[in-house]
Structure 1
Amino acid sequence: MVDYLIFLAILTSTFSLLALGLNLQWGFTGLINFGHVGFMTLGAYVTVLLSLKGVHMLIAILVGASIAALLGLIIGLSTLRLRTDYLAIVTIGLGEVIRLVINNQELPVGDNWISGVFGVQNYPIPLVIIQPNIFLRIFMIGLLTLLGIVTIFALYTWVSSAKKQLKTFIGKHSIYQQEFLSRLIISIFLGLLLLAVYISGVISLYNYTPKAGLLLLCLLVLAFVFWRLEIALRSPWGRVLKAIREDEEVAIALGKNVFWYKIQSLMLGGAIAGVAGAFFAWQLSAIYPDNFQPQLTFDCWIMVILGGSGNNIGSLLGTVIFFTYNTLTREFLPRIFTQLSVEQLGAFRIMFIGLVLITMMVWRPQGILGKKEELTLDK
């Protein structure tokens, strides 16, 4: 049970990074990217192949993120002059082209060249070879505890801000009451999940397993990326991105280089997705081109839409909800619908999440935490 929770926590953290990258591109800048998995693919393969060549994994992941950012630059220079719908078509095609090229290309795996269709295995994974002593294990547990405390404090601050609004704006009492209650429920939900992950992490770190070390590393990177994005998006740079999303003609009239800001958004979002790809590869321990199907991009879109576009906390919430649903239906549906085959159960799960998404679009098109006035679906 503990190992399974660690696995789910790593997967959720990895896709939270992926969702943050997409939210930057679409939620804050209004760029429709249907090939987001292409950035993830490049980050994964570049990191893994460099690691097999003896490159330190920290350098490998930075190079992988840089190559993914370079892809964003290439896409931007070649497609941002196009209209939004054409940009979507080009990106989904490019994401699939990257996967097919890797599938049909020979890759430099160590000292040999191996066909991409056979995948890449037996590559280095962070913190596998170390055998931490008791002091290092306590230090790692302390880092995990610190992350948990910071997260709880952030959730408390988030709920408290809604409570202050509730006390201040008496004229719109019902609106702010609903906001406060929703934040309180979400915080309790996330807090309970955090507690389960924390307990599993402490157990696995004390009785050290490599996956526990990978979880700690992934959570640290996720916390750092989230923190820096929040600061950047509240700065003048972030406000320009929002202005471009709402009406880029206004931003142009104010003297902003809209094209360059879009390039920056694509590159930074792509780099974040590249980092997510590295963690995805490290968790799988073996990667194949079919691990990077277009479905991953649309799963990421579901996460961002569910949580609310233009809201980083919403992206994290949408990812948690998506994998909670995914896990619960995988575990309990076979026990409820015993007459259905595995293929039918898989189709049912996809159909049901589609129904949830349709209902969400009708009832609350801005997502759980999104703001309706900032909705980008109609841009």
Structure 2
Amino acid sequence: MISYLVATLVLVAIATIAALALNLQWGLGGLVNFGLFGFYMLGAYVCGLLVVNGTPPLLAMAVAMLATAAVSAAVSLISVRLSEDYLAIVTLGFAECVRLFISYEEWLTRGTLGVPGIERPFSGWVPAAWSDGVFLVFSFACLLLSFLFLRKITRAPFGRLVRATRDDATVAEALGKNVLAVRAKVFAIGGALLGVAGSLHAFYYSYIDPTQFTTALNAYAFMAVIIAGRGSHIGILIAGFSVILLLEGSRFLVDVIPFLDGAQLAALRLFIVGAGLIAILIYKPDGLVREYRLRSGAH
């Protein structure tokens, strides 16, 4: 039971970091990224391949962050002038290109055979029995640092500029702001966070292959942002834990309702999550926590 709880909490931390990245890009910046899983996959593969070729895990993670940030910025420069719907399609197409490249370029990525033997950070410093616990602490430390970093930039002038370009890019441009540069930075920072999440995925499983990366990550992240309230990083922490813990905890319904088979239980779990999402949209349309706004002392 303890092992299952640790595994669930690690997944919560990884998924919440991905949701924080989407909250920056879509919630704060207004840039829809349906290719979330592609950047996540890219980060996992860059980190995993570097580690198995002798790079220290923490250095490999840093390189993965830089790589996903650079690629994210490049994609934004290509597509960010598109309207919201078309931008979503372009990012989804990019993610599919990443998946196909990794699946078929075996000379570089090992294709569908996957990448085994990915060493975790600090694995040589702690006993094997403590490995999962130490990695859980490391994952939550990454989540906390990601949250604090986003909270800092959200309350800084850059955060206000990002919201201004989301609310009315024309007005921001008229005031002399470089909207394209702002959006490229937003995509790059979000990409770096996805590089962190992808690296944690590679470390935790110690083996990666293309079948592990699906649009399910998109669904979790978008649900978390909608439930949290767009632009609210504190809300993301609450929603990220709630969504994943609900999905994982509902597995135990089979003990409460023993006459359900596997297919019925899976459908019931999705129904519960869907009903909860609809209820939040009806009763809390702005999400659980309102977006941070700078307020003056005047009344």
Normalised to the residue count of structure 1, the TM-score between the two structures is: 0.74
Cα gap change, 1:349 to 1:275, in 2 (>3 Å):
same
Give the C-alpha shift of residue 251 in structure 1.
1.0
Which letter maps to 2:79?
T
Give the C-alpha shift of residue 371 in structure 1.
4.9
Aligned partners of 1:49, 1:372: CA distance in 2, in Å? 39
Which letter maps to 1:94?
F
Q: Is the counterpart of residue 117 in structure 1 residue 38 in structure 2?
A: no
Query: Is 1:95–1:294's contact at 8 Å kept on the other side of the alignment?
Result: no
Q: Is the counterpart of residue 325 in structure 1 residue 241 in structure 2?
A: no
Q: Is the counterpart of residue 300 in structure 1 residue 295 in structure 2?
A: no
Report the equivalent of 1:7.
7
Query: Is 2:15–2:217's contact at 8 Å kept on the other side of the alignment?
Result: no
Report the equivalent of 2:153.
232
2:171 paired residue among 235, 239, 250? 250
Query: Is 1:244–1:258's contact at 8 Å kept on the other side of the alignment?
Result: yes
Give the C-alpha shift of residue 351 in structure 1.
2.9
Aligned partners of 1:269, 1:224: CA distance in 2, in Å? 14
Aligned partners of 1:29, 1:372: CA distance in 2, in Å? 13
Cα gap change, 1:371 to 1:73, in 2 (>3 Å):
closer
Cα gap change, 1:122 to 1:82, in 2 (>3 Å):
same
> Which secondary structure does the structure 2 equivalent of 1:121 belong to?
coil
Alignment of 1:53-72 (within 5 A): 53-72=53-72
Identity of aligned residues (%): 35
| C-alpha distance after superposition, 1:201-251 (max 9, x if no partner) | xxxxxx951111111212222222211211111111000001111111121
> Which secondary structure does the structure 1 equivalent of 2:285 belong to?
coil
Give the C-alpha shift of residue 27 in structure 1.
1.0
Which letter maps to 2:290?
G
Q: Is the counterpart of residue 286 in structure 1 residue 207 in structure 2?
A: yes
> Which secondary structure does the structure 1 equivalent of 2:168 belong to?
helix
Aligned partners of 2:21, 2:190: CA distance in 1, in Å? 4
Report the equivalent of 1:48.
48
Report the equivalent of 1:316.
237
Which letter maps to 2:93?
G
Which of the pair has more CA radius of gyration? 1
| C-alpha distance after superposition, 1:44-88 (max 9, x if no partner) | 000000001101112111111111112211211110111111001
| C-alpha distance after superposition, 1:297-350 (max 9, x if no partner) | 111111111112111111111110012211221112x23443332123212222
Aligned partners of 1:131, 1:350: CA distance in 2, in Å? 39
Query: Is 2:227–2:280's contact at 8 Å kept on the other side of the alignment?
Result: yes
Query: Is 1:366–1:372's contact at 8 Å kept on the other side of the alignment?
Result: no
1:340 paired residue among 242, 251, 260? 260
Aligned partners of 2:194, 2:231: CA distance in 1, in Å? 17
Report the equivalent of 1:73.
73
Aligned partners of 1:270, 1:131: CA distance in 2, in Å? 31
Report the equivalent of 2:96.
96
Aligned partners of 1:67, 1:366: CA distance in 2, in Å? 34
Cα gap change, 1:284 to 1:240, in 2 (>3 Å):
same
Which letter maps to 1:128?
S
* Structure 2: gaps (5+ residues): 294-299
1:349 paired residue among 269, 275, 281? 269
> Which secondary structure does the structure 2 equivalent of 1:366 belong to?
coil
Query: Is 1:34–1:298's contact at 8 Å kept on the other side of the alignment?
Result: no
> Which secondary structure does the structure 1 equivalent of 2:289 belong to?
coil
Aligned partners of 2:150, 2:269: CA distance in 1, in Å? 33
Aligned partners of 1:78, 1:318: CA distance in 2, in Å? 32
> Which secondary structure does the structure 2 equivalent of 1:287 belong to?
coil
| C-alpha distance after superposition, 1:153-187 (max 9, x if no partner) | xxxxxxxxxxxxxxxxxxxxxxxxxxxxxxxxxxx
Report the equivalent of 1:147.
none
Figure out how many residues of one structure are paired with residues of the other and give that number: 293
Report the equivalent of 1:214.
135
Q: Is the counterpart of residue 38 in structure 1 residue 33 in structure 2?
A: no
Cα gap change, 1:118 to 1:344, in 2 (>3 Å):
farther
Report the equivalent of 2:296.
none
Query: Is 1:96–1:294's contact at 8 Å kept on the other side of the alignment?
Result: no
What root-mean-square deviation, in Å, do the aligned CA atoms of Structure 1 and Structure 2 show? 1.9
